[in-house]
């Protein structure tokens, strides 16, 4: 979804929260621990975030777990991260399923190992009927990758004579993007002190409120989420319109 379909209400609970979980490495270093220990603590934070979002009535949570660019990290760190993903999937999926969480993965899957890909497919199958919270995990994901694969999808439709190039509009484009069936994030949270989007959901964040905090991801908890939600509740979302015209035709 690209353009807000209805009048934005004065809701203080966002429907969709996206998170760039930054700061695991610094958290570990400040404790004299290896970076992998920071990532392990990061998984615990992610788990707590899923629970806190569910309790607050947030419908979709998208976590940036591994970016296209993260493949360029030292091989040992990439292996540690992949091992952690595999373990986390093995350990958490049953409980997520029991708690009504639907799991989805977005990103370039083919570079991931076969065992991770298999666990992803099985987790998606196991949880596909759940609807309490949709948890999207971006793994091997990049916003530019997403736009490129959407362009390829559209080009194939044109090549097959299904689509007239003149008919390509925002709706057609967003059909091919990874989050096609989900609303755009209302709120983006980035921990770790940087104020940038780092090739996350480039298309979908067009009208998201952006919240940056110095808190390192392993330290981010339900109270941190509530601060972000309070920030969100105080925003005047105009979606490019004039304040007093929002909600009118
Ligand atoms: C950034 O910290 C975090 C990542 C590269 C992603 C790893 C995230 C997790 C392991 C937690 C979520 C896991 C799951 C399964 C959803 P950084 O290494 O960039 O930290 P730094 O900026 O301090 O070096």
How much of the chain exceeds pLDDT 70, in percent? 93
Q: What is the DSSP code string of 226-237? A: HHHHHHHHT---
* 39, 92, 123, best to mutate for ligand 1 pocket (most atoms within 8 Å of CB): 39
- What does the angle CA 140 – CA 141 – CA 145 come to, to the nearest 5 degrees? 115
Indicate the pLDDT class of residue 12, thresholds 50, 70 and 90: confident
Q: How many residues are present in the chain?
A: 249
Judge if the beta carbon of residue 117 lies within 6 A of ligand 1: no
Give yes or no for a contact between 145 and 182, defined as CB atoms under 8 angstroms apart: no
CA of 135 to the centre of ligand 1 (A): 17
Residue 212 lies in a domain: yes
Judge if the beta carbon of residue 218 lies within 6 A of ligand 1: no
What distance in Å separates the CA atoms of residue 38 and residue 32, rounded to the nearest whole number?
A: 10
- The per-residue pLDDT of the chain, averaged, comes to 93
Domain around 75:
16-143+185-232
Protein residue closest via CA to atom 8 of ligand 1: 65
Domain count, the chain: 1
Q: Is 239 left (phi over 0), alpha (psi -120 to 50) or beta?
A: left
Residue 11 lies in a domain: no
Cα within 13 Å of Cα(153), Cβ side: 15
Q: Is 144 left (phi over 0), alpha (psi -120 to 50) or beta?
A: alpha
pLDDT in tens, 211-242: 999 999 999 999 999 999 999 999 988 888 88
Residue 191 lies in a domain: yes
CA of 39 to the centre of ligand 1 (A): 5
How is the beta sheet containing 16-20 ordered, strand by strand? 101-106, 133-141, 60-67, 16-20, 187-190, 209-212
Residue 213 lies in a domain: yes
Provide the strand spans (E) within 158-244: 187-190, 209-212
| Predicted confidence (pLDDT) at residue 57 exceeds the cutoff of 60 | yes
* Between 3 and 75, the higher pLDDT residue: 75
Residue 48 lies in a domain: yes
SS3 state at 76:
helix
Protein residue closest via CA to atom 16 of ligand 1: 65
What distance in Å separates the CA atoms of residue 240 and residue 208, rounded to the nearest whole number?
A: 12
pLDDT in tens, 167-182: 999 999 999 999 999 9
SS3 state at 99:
coil
Residue 169 lies in a domain: no
Per the annotation, the verdict on 186 as an active-site residue is: no
| Predicted confidence (pLDDT) at residue 43 exceeds the cutoff of 80 | yes
Protein residue closest via CA to atom 22 of ligand 1: 23
CA of 184 to the centre of ligand 1 (A): 23
Indicate the pLDDT class of residue 11, thresholds 50, 70 and 90: low
What distance in Å separates the CA atoms of residue 171 and residue 2, rounded to the nearest whole number?
A: 7
CA of 101 to the centre of ligand 1 (A): 22
pLDDT in tens, 118-158: 999 999 999 999 999 999 999 999 999 999 999 999 999 99
Provide the strand spans (E) within the chain: 16-20, 60-67, 101-106, 133-141, 187-190, 209-212
pLDDT value, residue 241: 83
Per the annotation, the verdict on 70 as an active-site residue is: yes
What distance in Å separates the CA atoms of residue 45 and residue 65, rounded to the nearest whole number?
A: 12
CATH number, domain of 91, equals 3.40.1180.10
Residue 245 lies in a domain: no
Q: What separation in angstroms does the CA of 116 have from each of 22, 98, 108, 113, 141?
A: 22, 21, 12, 5, 15
What distance in Å separates the CA atoms of residue 225 and residue 111, rounded to the nearest whole number?
A: 32
Residue 139 lies in a domain: yes
pLDDT value, residue 124: 98
pLDDT value, residue 238: 82
Indicate which atom in ligand 1 lies nearest the CA of residue 137. Answer: 16
pLDDT in tens, 93-111: 999 999 999 999 999 999 9
Provide the strand spans (E) within 68-120: 101-106
């Amino acid at each position: 979804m690209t353009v807000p379909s209805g009048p934005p209400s004065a809701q203080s609970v966002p429907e969709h929260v996206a998170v760039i979980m930054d700061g695991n490495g610094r958290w570990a270093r400040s404790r004299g621990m290896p970076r992998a220990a920071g990532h392990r603590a990061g998984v615990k934070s992610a788990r707590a975030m899923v629970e806190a979002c569910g309790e607050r009535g947030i419908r979709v949570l998208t976590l940036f777990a591994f970016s296209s660019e993260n493949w360029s990290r030292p091989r040992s760190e990439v292996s540690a991260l992949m091992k952690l993903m595999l373990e986390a999937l093995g350990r958490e999926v049953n409980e997520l399923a029991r708690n009504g969480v639907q799991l989805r993965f977005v990103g370039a899957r083919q570079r991931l190992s076969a065992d991770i890909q298999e666990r992803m497919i099985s987790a998606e199958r196991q949880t596909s009927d759940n609807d309490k919270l949709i948890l999207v995990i971006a793994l091997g994901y990049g916003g530019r990758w997403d736009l490129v694969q959407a362009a390829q999808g559209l080009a194939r439709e044109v090549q097959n004579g299904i689509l007239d190039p003149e008919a390509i509009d925002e709706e057609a484009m967003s059909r091919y993007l990874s989050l096609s069936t989900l609303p755009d994030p209302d709120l983006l949270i980035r921990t770790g002190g940087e104020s940038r989007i780092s090739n996350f959901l480039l298309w979908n964040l067009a009208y998201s409120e952006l919240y940056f905090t110095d808190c390192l991801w392993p330290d981010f908890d339900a109270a941190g989420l509530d601060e972000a939600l309070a920030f969100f509740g105080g925003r005047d979302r105009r979606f490019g319109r004039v304040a007093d015209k929002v909600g009118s035709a």
